[in-house]
Amino acid sequence: MPYVTADDGARIFYKDWGVDGTPVILSHGWPLNADAWEATALFLAEHGHRAIAHDRRGHGRSSQTWDGNEMDTYADDLACLVEALDLSDLTLVGHSTGGGEVVHYVGRHGTARVARLVLVSAVPPLMLRTDDNPDGLPIEVFDDIRAGEAANRSQLYRDLADGPFFGHNRDHDVAQGFRDAFWLQSMACGHRAAYECIAAFSATDFRPDLEKVDVPTLVIHGDDDQIVPFEVGGARSAAMVDGAELKVYEGSGHALPDTDRDRLHADLLAFIDS
């Protein structure tokens, strides 16, 4: 299996499909791994692009390091992957926590190799409520996730999959296979990595990173997202990036790569090919 090695020796697993086309990196949400993007990677590769998806450190097949389970290191690991594969004219696509990772990459490493940016149900600009972010979510929301992770993470992942992640607690009929895949991928994440990543996706302030985005940007968000509410995530990120295109999926929840796959794929392909 292919890996790149980060500066601290951590091994980062990645898939690289359709290797002759324009490159697209797909960054996954918490606490999943590259498999969360496999349908999208296959679609893009079949439509002439080079689709690359990696397991964030601590997740999936990458090293379960004790340190480095925070956004600075996630972004630097992504830079390591980009440099190792010598990618340019690159499209970065991030779902949920992955959206934070790709935006933080831009903030730390610039856009010399990046041509386009796509944020899907993404955590930027800042999920946590603070004095200067009064419309964010209260700390108790994330403390409850941390408590569930510490007490019985297997049950936490089942509860998320059967509830707010896919919107199965609304009137949406979400296939059991999607929910099973969420649990299976989540259990492959290291316990410490999953616990620490909760702070990374909720408390990292991506506003300075968004101010540095100078490439065409597409923001896609469901207006019934129960994990990253539209008003906290997509609406505000789109407003912060000059010229960003915002697509609101009416009635859709958080897991757009699964629940709104065909529409998302069509929008991604049109944007990448534009």
Q: Answer yes or no: are the C-beta atoms of 203 and 232 closer than 8 Å.
A: no
Q: Answer yes or no: are the C-beta atoms of 210 and 103 closer than 8 Å.
A: yes
Q: Cα 129 to the chain's mean position, in Å?
A: 20
Give catalytic residue positions.
96, 225, 254
Task: Report d(CA 79, CA 71) in Å as an integer.
Answer: 12
Tokens 């990458």 appear where? 62
Q: Sheet harboring 217-222: ordered strands across?
A: 3-5, 11-17, 49-54, 22-27, 90-95, 114-120, 217-222, 245-249
Number of Cβ within 10 Å of residue 188's Cβ equals 16
Task: Report d(CA 157, CA 179) in Å as an integer.
Answer: 9
Residues 29, 35, 37: CA angle, nearest 5 degrees:
65
Sequence-ordered alpha helix ranges (H) in 35-175: 38-46, 71-84, 97-109, 139-162
